[in-house]
Structures are given as C-alpha cells and as structure tokens.
Amino acid sequence: DTGVSQDPRHKITKRGQNVTFRCDPISEHNRLYWYRQTLGQGPEFLTYFQNEAQLEKSRLLSDRFSAERPKGSFSTLEIQRTEQGDSAMYLCASSSQGRDQETQYFGPGTRLLVL
C-alpha cells in the first residue's frame, strides 16, 4: 500500500492556460474525491466518484473544471482557461466500501499557482 499519489506536486501556469492533474488512489479503493484548499481555509469538496461514475459535483466546480475516472482507477482533474482565483492546493482522497469506509485517505496535493 503506497497511499494516494498525486502528480504533479506543483504547477505554475499563466492565466488562460489549461492544466491537468492526476490522482492515483489506494489500489483497492473504489471511491475517489477531489477537494480544493485555499490559504488559511479547510479543504472544500469538489467532486466524488464511485468506481468510474461521477456521483456528486459541488457548485464550486464551474464549467471550466472537468474530472474523469476512466476504468475506475486513476482520476484526472482538468481546469480550462485558468484564472488567478484557481490558485489553490488540489487534494485527492480515496476510501473503500468495506469496513473502513468512513475514512478518506488523502494524497499530498497539487499546488497550483496561476500567474
């Protein structure tokens, strides 16, 4: 068990560019979550997958954001036409459907800076 991994760890981009982040959950976990954390705040929920199905999306997830989880394994979060307000830490978490289903395990995050 290597934990949840995210790539890249840091991303600097110019306003208007597109960026894509990847999350690899713990291998046996069928649930995957994306959160966004801005400076001085707690993480805020963005979206949730069970296997490959995206079951819930926050109103924070504007039309410029899209998330996928093909084949129910890794997930990608794409932000199109980035804005300075998108600068944040993007966190991925996963959980199982079994005994420990209450617990979400978080990755190290991808820190995005939009110039």
Partner 1 sequence: GDSVTQMEGPVTLSEEAFLTINCTYTATGYPSLFWYVQYPGEGLQLLLKATKADDKGSNKGFEATYRKETTSFHLEKGSVQVSDSAVYFCALRGSGGSNYKLTFGKGTLLTVNP
Note the residues at the interface with partner 1 (CB under 8 A): 4, 31, 33, 35, 40-45, 48, 55-56, 58, 91, 93, 95, 102-109
Q: Which is nearer to partner 1, 18 or 38 (CB)?
A: 38
Whole-number minimum distance, CB 16 to partner 1, in Å?
29
Q: Which is nearer to partner 1, 11 or 31 (CB)?
A: 31
Answer yes or no: are the C-beta atoms of 47 and 33 closer than 8 Å: yes
Tokens of 31: 């649930």
Q: Which long-range contacts (CB under 8 A, 24 or more apart) does 51-59 make?
A: none
